[in-house]
């Protein structure tokens, strides 16, 4: 049923809970797992110059050590879990509007299922869903599994 599963991640505990679900589903379907980290350029653009924002949009985090490390750690967690389960994994780092980047990646890579955390690292939890998750639901026709996390984040 599922051949390619996308896990957008920011490295939060909620995203890690989504990874667990994605890996289980991928094992049941012998599916590829795609890990996507999106740096929200709207949120970080104010402190950066145009050239730096353009590089982030292209997924080039060189010279931005903390951002690059966050991206590598977040997608690396997904890749490690997938490979431990004997699955093929792909990593991608990008910059832009997260919901659009997730929807575009899903379309461009023939993703069959998106598994995403209910809210991200921002620490502000909305009544139902985080804003990125809510926007992903509205931006794609790919099935989306929203995973919540009960613990402290």
What is this structure's pTM? 0.84
Q: How far apart are the first and last CA of the chain?
A: 32
CATH of segment(s) 4-147:
3.40.50.620
Across the chain, what does the average pLDDT equal?
Answer: 84
Q: Which residues contact 112 (CB under 8 A, 6 or more apart)?
A: 1, 2, 3, 4, 5, 31, 142, 143
Cβ contacts of residue 30 below 8 Å, gap of 6+? 87
DSSP 47: G
Report domain extents, the chain. Answer: 4-147
pLDDT tens per residue across span 95-153: 889 999 999 999 999 999 999 998 655 444 444 445 888 899 999 999 999 998 765 44
Q: What is the pLDDT of residue 126?
A: 42
62 has pLDDT over 70? no
pLDDT value at residue 104:
97
């Amino acid at each position: 049923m599922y051949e390619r599963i996308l896990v957008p991640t920011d490295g939060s505990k909620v995203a890690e809970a989504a990874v667990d679900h994605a890996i289980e589903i991928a094992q049941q379907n012998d599916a590829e797992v795609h890990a996507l980290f999106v740096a929200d350029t709207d949120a970080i653009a104010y402190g950066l110059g145009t050239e730096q924002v353009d590089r982030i949009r292209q997924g080039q985090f060189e010279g931005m050590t903390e951002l690059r490390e966050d991206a590598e750690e977040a997608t690396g967690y997904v890749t490690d879990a997938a490979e431990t389960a004997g699955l093929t994994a792909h990593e991608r780092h990008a910059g832009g509007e997260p919901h659009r980047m997730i929807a575009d990646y899903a379309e461009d890579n023939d993703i069959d299922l998106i598994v995403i955390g209910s809210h991200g690292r921002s620490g502000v939890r909305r009544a139902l869903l985080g804003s990125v998750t809510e926007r992903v639901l509205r931006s794609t026709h790919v099935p989306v599994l929203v995973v919540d996390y009960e613990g402290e984040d």
